[in-house]
Amino acid sequence: MPESKIEHQKSEIINAVLFDLGDTLLEFGDFSTTRAFLEGARTTYAFLRDHNQPVSCFAWYFLRNLVRLRTQYLIAILTRRDFDSLEVLKEVGAKLGVRLSADQWTEFAWLWYEPLSRRARIEEGLPESLARLTDMGLKLGIVSNTFVNRASLQRQLQLLGLLEFFPVQLYSYEFHVRKPSTEIFRIAAGRIAERPENILFVGDRIDNDILPALASGMRAVLKEAYTNQGKRVPPAALRIGRLAELPALIEQINASATEAASTQS
* C-alpha closest to that of 91 among 103, 108, 76: 108
Residue 252 has pLDDT above 70, yes or no: yes
Asked if residue 167 and residue 59 are part of one domain, the reply reads: no
Asked if residue 12 and residue 45 are part of one domain, the reply reads: no
Q: Which of 117, 136, 153 is the last residue of a domain?
A: 117
Q: pLDDT tens, 207-219?
A: 999 999 999 999 9
Asked if residue 128 and residue 79 are part of one domain, the reply reads: no
Q: Which of 93, 117, 141 is the last residue of a domain?
A: 117
Asked if residue 141 and residue 83 are part of one domain, the reply reads: no
Prior bond of 235 cis (ω within 30°): no
pTM reported for the whole predicted model? 0.92
Work out the mean pLDDT of the chain and round it to a whole number.
93
Asked if residue 174 and residue 59 are part of one domain, the reply reads: no
Residue 9 has pLDDT above 90, yes or no: no
Asked if residue 90 and residue 129 are part of one domain, the reply reads: no
Strand bridging mode 168-171 / 16-19: unpaired
Share of the chain above pLDDT 90, in %: 85
In the beta sheet, which residues pair with residue 17?
Answer: 140, 200
Mean pLDDT across the stretch 85-112? 95
- 224/218 Cα distance (integer angstroms): 19
Residue 10 has pLDDT above 70, yes or no: no
pLDDT at 239: 96
Asked if residue 173 and residue 71 are part of one domain, the reply reads: no
Range of the domain at 134: 3-28+124-264
Number of domains in the chain: 2
Asked if residue 260 and residue 152 are part of one domain, the reply reads: yes
